[in-house]
Amino acid sequence: MIRLITASQRYEAQVEGWLRSHYLFSFADYYDPENMEFGPLRVFNDDYVSPRSGFPTHPHSELEIVTIVLSGDLTHKDNIGNETTVSPGQVQRMTAGTGVSHSETNDTDDEIHLLQLWFMPNKRGLAPSYEVMDVGFLKAKDELIPLVTGQKVLEDVTYINSNSTVYYGSVSQGEEITFRTFKIRRTLIYVLTGSLLVNNVEADSHDQIRLDEQEVIAIRGTADATFILVDVPALEANY
């Protein structure tokens, strides 16, 4: 099954003048019982954070939280001793585990564009932990670059406690990338820029395609395009 969800079907949120966001799944004041999750992927938010603002300190538990910075510099602080700046091309992973409190703020005069994804973990009761990796994914050209993974077949990638992998993709107009998977897995593609033809389904900027029971996914650029591909199990142990 292949399902196209257009950009206009995303939920748009404005938070007190400092955050513009689009939610791909039910989140905060947006509730749709038919759009709660995608395998262990529970949250996928496309966020723009205004200068000198951000998410104040708040708690989380039993989540794998992935933050992908597309532009701007994000300041992270938490109660387990981490204080870092996450820049474009870098990926942040936080295992909330038994509980962590953190803030994510824009301490600059420029807007930040980031993506945040939450996964339900396949292991519970873990100690909280944190990692930032400079992946340099924004330099990608006609390739998929893994950003985080819980699949041990990939090396030198930030590890998450979910049998899932998040990729950043770039494809030029007229070029094609082939992604091979299994029918027991699910794939979500979110177009950041440009337009794609995914298994003969057209998708424009900010559209998403959700695919089930596929073995081969052909991603062709109908214009120069960038996108996020999330590969998840249909069912996750302990999920």
Binding site as annotated, residues for Fe cation = 58, 60, 102, 104
Answer whether 119's CB lies under 8 Å from 160's CB.
yes
Burial class (CB in 10 A: 0-12, 13-18, 19+), 180: exposed
**Which residues, in sequence order, are bridge partners of residue 145?**
168
Distance CA 188, CA 166 (A): 10
Which residues does the annotation place in the binding site?
58, 60, 102, 104
| Beta pairing partners, 193 | 226
Alpha carbon 172 to chain centroid distance? 22
Q: How far apart are CA 101 and CA 80, in angstroms?
A: 8
Q: Are strands 112-119 and 11-15 parallel, antiparallel or unpaired?
A: unpaired
Bridging pattern class, strands 129-134 and 112-119: unpaired
Dihedral angle, C-alpha 67, 109, 206, 161, nearest 10 °: 0
